Amino acid sequence: MTAFTNGRPVCAWYGDDFTGTLAVLEIFAFAGLYGAAFLKMPTADEMLRFEGLDVIGLAGTARAQSPEWMDTNLPTTYRWLAATGAEIVAYKACSTLDSAPGVGSIGHAAELGLTAFSQSSVDCLIACPSMGRYQVFGNLFATGPDGAVHRLDRHPVMTRHPVTPMHEADVARHLAAQTMLQTVSAHSATTRPEIDGIICLDAYNAADMERTGAAIWSERGKRRFVIGSQGVQVALVAHFRKKACLPPRLRRHDPSRVRRWSFQARCRRQRQRRSTMRLPMVLRASASRPDELLPGSAEAASQRATASAKAILNRGRMPIIFSATGPDDPAVAAFGELVRRQGHAPQRRRNIWARRLGKWRAVCWLKPGSPVP
């Protein structure tokens, strides 16, 4: 355990999705800290098996859930995070602010967190310059698939997000629509206002991040609970590096040197290049038969797609399974209209997609050429 925490974990966090949870773990791993991320709340025996961790994460699904779901689930999660004894407890949100009043509400997660940790205010750091996420004068900017930096409300991908399209770049204004808490912007973490509510912190470069990390760490007794992207952990690690208090356990890497991609854009390029990649088949999860993804028909469609994927894997190749080529794909509108006609709520539609694609993804997490059961 790192000496500067007196035996307590440095940070415990809840990720509002799986990939975000691992992004935080990656930051700490590159810094030489020991950690683990759980897919479900661990039992007491499981926690004993991992005793002595520097950082502890829990992957969740809050980004796709309603405020009512959060009311039921987040208080228990926050109690578990508090029980870890970590110096800093974080709610990990997306670095492109994916959220809306009715789904993935960061504002509501903040309300529940302030109550759970008896705080009057919470720092919110969404920016992460090493990932191409910048917050300046309260507005969030993000690098797009074209390599250019766009204000969030003009971003070529995020403005067309199928669930939470971004039409407001001002982080405080965006969150204000999700909560009754006061939301304000602060141009510097060292001069943030004393308010009861959410304080959205600007950060443009590495120096901003280090100063922000120092401010968060120094006030952990007053503001233990924080909200943000993996920028929170990047800022903390930057401060720890400056103070030379990280453990010399292994060669540490600089995550800012890892090339980042837009997942949506990269997948589109993979599909466009599938012939040069010598992929024998692309399995489409919707196409002209969106009804096959609905209850009653989905199981048969799932079995056919799984069988095709297994056959490709057993030939030593990697299949690509996708649901749509982007927001303009006719399959998106067709499936949405079918679900609407059958009376399913949007949340129901998202859950259907998630379960189907999750099952297919599990099939493809295998080494090409290895026998597939």
What pLDDT is stored for residue 344 in this prediction? 67
What pLDDT is stored for residue 355 in this prediction? 64
Tell me the torsion sign for CA atoms 113, 119, 120, 125.
Answer: negative
pTM of this structure: 0.79
Instruction: List the chain residues with pLDDT less than 50.
Output: 1, 251-252, 255-266, 270-271, 274-281, 286-288, 365-373
Radius of gyration of the chain (CA): 21
What pLDDT is stored for residue 337 in this prediction? 76
What pLDDT is stored for residue 268 in this prediction? 52
Are 126 and 95 a contacting pair, CB within 8 Å? Answer: yes
What pLDDT is stored for residue 251 in this prediction? 46
CATH topology for 3-257?
A: Rossmann fold (3.40.50)
* DSSP symbols for 28-96: HHHTT--EEEESSPPPHHHHHHTTT-SEEEEE--GGGS-HHHHHHHHHHHHHHHHHTT-SEEEEE--TT
Extents of the domains making up the chain:
3-257, 264-364
